[in-house]
Structure 1
Amino acid sequence: MAETERKGVLKTWKDDRGFGFIQPDDGDKDIFVHISSLKGMARRPMRGDVLFYQVGQDAGGKFKAVDARIDGVEFVQEPTTIAKKWIWIVAVALGLVSAAVAAYAFLNN
Structure 2
Amino acid sequence: MTEELQRGVLKTWKDDRGFGFIQPDNGDKDIFVHISALKGMARRPVRGDVLFYQVGRDAGGKFKAVNARIEGVELMATSAKISKKWLWIAFAALGLVSAAVAAYAFWVNQAA
TM-score range, shorter chain: 0.7 to 0.9
Cα displacement (A) at 1:77 = 4.0
Alignment partner, residue 38 of structure 2 = 38
Given residue 40 of structure 1, which amino acid in structure 2 is its aligned partner? G
2: CA distance between counterparts of 1:41 and 1:99? 41
- Aligned pairs, number: 105
Given residue 78 of structure 2, which amino acid in structure 1 is its aligned partner? E
Residue deviations 1:12-63, cap 9 Å, x none? 0000000000000111111000011111111111001110000011111111
Aligned-residue CA RMSD in angstroms?
A: 2.9
Given residue 33 of structure 2, which amino acid in structure 1 is its aligned partner? V
Q: Mark the runs of 5 or more structure 1 residues left unpaired by the alignment.
A: none
Alignment partner, residue 59 of structure 1 = 59
User: What TM-score does the superposition give when structure 1 sets the normalisation length?
Assistant: 0.75
Given residue 34 of structure 2, which amino acid in structure 1 is its aligned partner? H
Give percent identity, aligned residues only.
67
User: What TM-score does the superposition give when structure 2 sets the normalisation length?
Assistant: 0.74
Alignment partner, residue 84 of structure 1 = 82
Cα displacement (A) at 1:84 = 2.1
